[in-house]
Amino acid sequence: MYMIIKTPNLFTFDLKKGDSIANDGCCLTISNIINNLICFHIIKNTLNITTFKKLKKGDCLNIEKSLKLIDFVGGHLVSGHITDVATIIKVTNYINSKTIWLKPYHQSQMKYIFQKGSICIDGISLTIDKVYINQFSINLIPETIIKTVLASKKINQSVNIEVDLYTKIAVNTIEKLFNQ
């Protein structure tokens, strides 16, 4: 599959073919740039594990350039390696914020999701608020609502999730130690 995204003006000024861009949290390699259009090849495996298979012409994505080692890190480290898709099951709107409840497609992801831990949803570094057996919630502050497309998502829509790598390593290591 070939995907072309239209970016804001000047977004592409320092990009080149071969660079990586996060699209809804999924790291993709640029195959071509034409003015403010960026082109990507998406392989079958990426389609199978992301929300890209449901994308339609005109859909909005969160896009972000790769972090450079000299850049400020304002959230947790995110690799752009999607670990699952989650479905939005509930949205509560408040005056200046939103709470979104999500259910991962694979229940096995829940072992990496802890209250006050980190998670990446559609490329946005967020703090996990509450955790139940097969679902969790996150909160969106005004800045996240304004600068991302996550706030416009509706119940039953899917999002890409990337569990925190360090949490995943810790949980897997502890499991191995106890299962010896």
Residues 36 and 113 in one domain: no
Within-domain flag for 24: yes
Q: Mean pLDDT, to the nearest integer, of 93-103?
A: 96
Q: How many domains does the chain have?
A: 2
Check whether residue 106 and residue 161 sit in a common domain: yes
Of the pLDDT bands very low, low, confident and very high (cuts 50, 70, 90), residue 69 is low
* CA–CA separation, 90 and 101 (whole Å): 5
The answer to pTM > 0.75 is yes
- The CATH number of residue 37's host domain is 2.40.30.20
**Average model confidence (pLDDT) for the chain?**
93
Sheet holding 37-41, edge to edge: 2-6, 37-41, 26-34, 20-23, 63-65
The 3-class secondary structure across the chain, one letter per residue, is CEEEEECCCCCCCCCCCCCEEEECCEEEEEEEEECCEEEEECCHHHHHHCHHHHCCCCCCCCEEECCCCCCCCCCCCCCCCCCEEEEEEEEEECCCCEEEEEEECCHHHHHHCCCCCEEEECCEEEEEEEEECCEEEEEECHHHHHHCCHHHCCCCCEEEEEECHHHHHHHHHHHHHHCC
pLDDT value of position 9: 83
Is pLDDT above 90 for 179?
Answer: no
Residue 49 is predicted with a pLDDT of 94
Structure-token match 């392989």, residue found: 43
Arithmetic mean of pLDDT, 87-116: 97
pLDDT at 42 over 80: yes
Same domain, 10 and 47: yes
Q: Based on the fold, state whether residues 61 and 133 are members of the same structural domain.
A: no
Among the candidates 17, 32, 65, a domain finishes at: 65
Range of the domain at 97: 84-178
Identity of the amino acid at 135: Q
